[in-house]
Every structure is written in structure tokens, then in C-alpha cells.
Structure 1
Amino acid sequence: MTGLRRGAGYLLVALAVVVFLYPIWWMVVSSLKPGASILNDPLGVGPFTLDNFRAMFGSVPIGQALGNTVLVVAVKGAITMVLCPLAGYGFAKYSFRFKELLFGVVLLTLMLPTLTLVIPLLLEMKQLGWINTYQALILPGAVDAFSVFYMRQTISQVPDELLDAAAIDAAGTLRTFWSVVVPVIRPGLAALAVLTFFNIYNDLVWPIVAVNDPARQTVSVLLAGLATNVTGGSTSSGFDLWGQLMAACTIATIPTVIIFLLVQRHFIKGLLAGSVK
């Protein structure tokens, strides 16, 4: 009976892997097929060609979009990884007036749909003169409620005795945070870094509203615009656009796969931190 259950578990895992990986496999295979074959024989394999990638690199500014995305992810992610753990540290380990009320307000913002914040933020960016600038892409949402909440929950598991020992050694607030808290919550920080990367990298709603300058568009905006231009008709131009779209999606997927493979162990460990004492 135990062997049967184990076999059923392996079968379910294998089916889940197939379900999740098949769309990626189909995208990569389609990017290597002629555009006409993508529509006429979508489930077929071959014939393979690199024409889609050559045409895409020649007509789609994927390199510029990737550069913009890397800049936004690096700067915005750095702000998140510095300020959100500090905010979580304050909420978790310090007592001050209106602490619970302020934390409740932070949690309340989690319940607001993202679209309700778009217009106020856009008006604010207009008043600051930041429309079509990197500031508009980076600063809004750099300190988000979920990251503060996640860091607060993670840091609250750090024993107070460690902080007391640091205080006895005359360590200041920042020194205690850097030398005592950060090494303990490293798995949680790794998980937050991965979540932050994917959240910024895949963000579409705000970048497409705040920036309409092609020179500053991110990868997600570029792919959305390319997908809009796909007619799906029987013309050769429509076929070519399908092939270029699949090629661009394949290139845009590579950084996410590499990042996850490099930090998957720390990411899983960070998500499971605190589940078992």
C-alpha cells in the first residue's frame, strides 16, 4: 500500500511537471519554427529555423528593453531589499506609539486593487514631472506592503535574546540589524529577493501607464505591444509576427529561468522558514 501511494505521488508530480513545463516547451519549439507552421501545425515539431530570431533582433528592440528592465529591477529591487527589512525590523522588535494602527494601515493597502492606485500615482508623477522617466518606473511601489509584512513576520521569529546580547555589547540599532538579524533571516531575504525580482520583471500595468516612450519601455511592455500587433491572419506578415513574438518571449524567459535555478534552494528554504521550529 505504501509503495502504491508513493507511485501515485510520483505520477501526480510528473503530471504537474508536464502541465507547467509544456507551455514553455511549446514556446521554445514554436520560436524555432517558420511562422506559417506555428498557425497551421501548432502542435507539430519542426522544421527548425533561426529566421524568427534574426527577424526579431532586426525589428524588435529587445536588447534595449532588457537593459531598461535590468536597470529598473536592480535599482527598485535594491530599494526594496534595504528599506522593507528595516521597516519589518521596526514593526517586529520595537515598540512605539500607534504601532499597531500604522501596521494595520500597511496591511490595509494589501486589500486595495492595484488599478485603484494607478490614477492617483499617475497624477502624482505628472505633478513631479516624472512621466516617461526611470523615476516613474522605479520609485512607486519600491516599498510595498507585502514585503514589509513578510519581513515583519520573518524577523519576529528572531529570538529577543540575540538582540539583548547585542545591546549588552553596546551595538547600535543598525549594527544589531546588520550583524545579528540579517545573518539569521538570510533565507527569508533570499525568498524576498526572488519574489521582488519576478514582481518587478513581470509588472505590466504600471510601466505601460507611466511610460509611453519606446526608449524606456520594459520587456513586459515590449511583449504586450508585439502581441497586440499579431493579427493571426493568413498573411505572411502575420505569420512572421507570430514567430517574432515566440522568439521574443523565449529571450525574455531566459533571465527568469536562470535566476530561479540559481537561487531555488534558498527560495524554497526561505518560504518554509518558520513552518517548523
Structure 2
Amino acid sequence: MTASALDEPRRGPLRRPSRPRRSRPLVVQNLFLGLLTLAFLAPVAWALVSAFKPAADIIRDPLGFDPSQFTLDNFEGMFADVPIGAGFLNTAIVLVLKGGITLFFAPLAGYAFAKYDFRGKNVIFGAVLVTLMLPTIVLIIPLLLEMKQLGWVNTYQALILPGSVDAFAIFWMRQVISAVPDELLDAARMDGCGEFGIFWRVVVPVIRPGLAGLAVLTIMNIYNDFVWPVVVASSSTMSTLQVVLSTLAQNITGNKIGADYATVTGELLAASSLALVPLLILFIVLQKHFINGILAGSVKG
């Protein structure tokens, strides 16, 4: 036996390479996801279809649909009995202005917490996070008293300004901006770019997925907000869409003496379907950005 052979380490018995674990069949996964999707979409589909049925048929045959009985009577009656157009207009105004404030100032605050060092930074950020634990109901009375002192009850200011830059939006953007490399910011400073220019020209293009995800969440929260608008905007001319929908049954019965249950149900479904369409379109169009934004917001800072 040669010396080179003695120097070689002993090798154990050869083992067969382990086979990769079998994952759950793709067909079973798709079937499960399909059933789950069907369970979630079934009530939505039923509401949309029933809105075009005669009111009596909704009660008599809830699960049936005869295309020959297709009608717009529920929508015509709803527009005549309910100021839903004013609700859409008020919601659109609040959505544009309040959403714009959130998407402008929340990234700025998140940028300051993520990329700057200043005295009391952690204390201030901790105080911001503590506000996430406060229930909305706790803040309603103090905010309402403040709005009364300012003379803002039943105004757009009261609907827009309170909560326009919330703690969640700041925390979200802080987590997203923390993932931006500091080298990009230093390179921009070396080129003579100002601090706001760095934010606008360097940071914003990088955080677009996270910003898009925040935009979707902000739009959905403002669109579905009910508690604060119903407290601060008691006037029918300032009611948002959700407040209009909450008082829809009373408005129908008040405008139609002797309106039966079927008529109220049909117009309720028509109004709810109409209110649901913008959110469905928004999510379908922006679902890719929403998913990317969720992933971007999950980056640990």
C-alpha cells in the first residue's frame, strides 16, 4: 500500500442521495384556493345579481335569477329616495385630500425616523407607536370637542385633518425606507443634492412599491370609515357614503309611505352594490402593487 493511500481519510459507506420531500399536489392546492375564493366571493356575487332582480323576487326566491326579469327598478328607486350622489361626492373629496396628505407627510416622517439621528428619536417613535394601541372610541369625544371649539363641525376640515397622518402610515414608511441603502443617499449628497431633493429624487422612486401598498390601504380605510364621519358630520349635506348607507333604510321608508320589506331590501342591495364597485375595481387594478407593497412593508428595519 502506498504512502498516498495511507494518507487519504477513510470514507464511510456510500449513501444514496435523499429524495426531496413530496410537496402537496398542485391540483389539491389550487382546488382548496378555488373553494376558498368561491366562499369569499359568493356573498358579493349574490348581492350584485340580486340588485338587478325585482324586489319581490329577492324575498320569494333569494338564490334564483331569471335573466328575463332583469330590471333597474331598485337603482332608480334608490337614486330617488337616497342622496347617494352627495355621499359619493363627499367621500371623493375627503379621499383625495386626506389621502394626499397621508401619502405626502407619512413618507417624510418615516424618512426622518429611518435615516436621521436626532435627540429623542427613539422616544418620539415609541410615542407614535403607542398611539396605535389607543382604541378609536377613546379619541372621539376629545376630537369632537376640539372640532366644536374650532367651529369645524359639519365641515370638510373635520372630516379630513384628524387622523390624516396616522401612526400606522408612519411606521409602514419607516420600515420601507429603512431598506434603502445609505450609500445611495451619500452619493446624492456628494453630488450636491439637497435633503428634500434626496428624498424626492432618490428615496421616492425606490419605495414606490411600499408607497403603492400604503395608498391602497389608505384609500380602503378612508372609503370605509364610518365612526368618525357619523359623529362629526351629522348634516345630510356633509354625510359620506358610509353614513348615507347606514341611514338608507330610514330614508327609503321615510320617502315611501308604506314601503314594504322587499322594496327596502332591493334598494339596499342596489346601493351596497354601487358602493362596492369602486373598491373592487381598485383592488383588481392595483392588486400587483398591493402585494408588492405588503412585501416591501414587511422588511425589518
**237-246 vs 73-82, greater mean Cα deviation:** 237-246
* Bigger shift: residues 246-255 or 72-81: 246-255
User: What amino acid is aligned across from residue 211 of structure 2 in structure 1?
Assistant: L
Q: Which residue number corresponds to residue 276 of structure 2?
A: 253
User: Given residue 253 of structure 1, which amino acid in structure 2 is its aligned partner?
Assistant: L
Shift of the 130–275 alpha-carbon distance from structure 1 to 2, 3 Å rule, reads: closer
Give the 5 Å matches for 1:120-199. Answer: 120-199=142-221
Relative to structure 1, is the Cα distance of residues 112 and 276 closer, same or farther in structure 2, using a 3 angstrom cutoff?
A: closer
Matched, 1:72 2:118: no
Q: Of the two, which has the highest radius of gyration?
A: 2
**Per-residue displacement from partner, 1:41-98 (whole Å, max 9, x unpaired)?**
2222233221101111111111111111100000000000000000000000001111
- Structure 1 segments, 4+ long, off by >6 Å, are none
Change (3 A) 1:87 1:9: same
Picking from 53, 57, 61, the partner of 2:83 is 61
Q: Is the 8 A contact 1:28 1:250 kept in 2?
A: yes
CA distance in 2 between partners of 1:257 and 1:220 (Å): 16
The one-letter amino acid paired with 1:256 is L
Of residues 135-144 and 36-45 in structure 1, the stretch that sits farther from structure 2 once superposed is: 36-45
Confirm or deny that 1:267 pairs with 2:290. Answer: yes
Between 1:141-150 and 1:62-71, the stretch displaced more is 62-71
Pairwise CA distance, 1:270:
1.2
C-alpha distance in 1 between matches for 2:212 and 2:200? 15
User: Aligned to 2:237, what secondary structure does the other structure show?
Assistant: helix
What is residue 99 of structure 1 aligned with on the other side? 121
Q: Which runs of 5+ in 1 are unaligned?
A: none
1:16 matched to 2:36? yes
Structure 2 Cα separation of the partners of residues 146 and 205 of structure 1: 18
1:224 aligns with 2:252: no
**Equivalent residue number for residue 46 of structure 2:** 26
Find the aligned partners of 1:64 and 1:189 in 2 and give their Cα distance: 30
Deviations 1:93-121 (A, max 9, x none): 00111110100010000011111111111
- Residue 227 (structure 1) shift: 4.4
The aligned counterpart of 1:208 is 230
Amino acid at match of 1:40: R
Q: What residue in structure 2 maps to residue 44 of structure 1?
A: 64
Distance in 2, matches of 1:161 and 1:91, equals 17
Name the CA distance, whole Å, in 1 between partners of 2:79 and 2:299: 49
Alpha-carbon distance in 2 for matches of 1:40, 1:33: 11
Partner in structure 2 of residue 119 of structure 1: 141
Letter in 2 for 1:268: I
Identity of aligned residues (%): 56
Q: Given that residues 110 and 173 in structure 2 are in contact (C-alpha distance below 8 angstroms), is that contact kept between their aligned partners in structure 1?
A: yes
Does structure 1 conserve the Cα–Cα contact (< 8 Å) formed by 2:55 and 2:262?
Answer: yes
Letter in 2 for 1:261: I
Question: Number of residue pairs matched?
Answer: 274
- Cα RMSD (Å) of the superposition? 1.9
Pick which of 175-184 and 51-60 moved more. 51-60
Q: CA deviation at 1:40?
A: 2.6
Q: Give the letter aligned to residue 260 of structure 1.
A: F
SS in 2 for 1:216: coil
**Separation in structure 2 between the aligned mates of residue 276 and residue 62 of structure 1, nearest angstrom:** 41
Q: Deviations over 1:3-48 (max 9, x none)?
A: 8621110011101110111111011111111222222322222332
Match of 2:130 in 1: 108
* The structure with more helix, counted as a fraction of residues: 1
* Aligned partners of 1:157 and 1:274 also within 8 Å: no
The one-letter amino acid paired with 1:51 is D
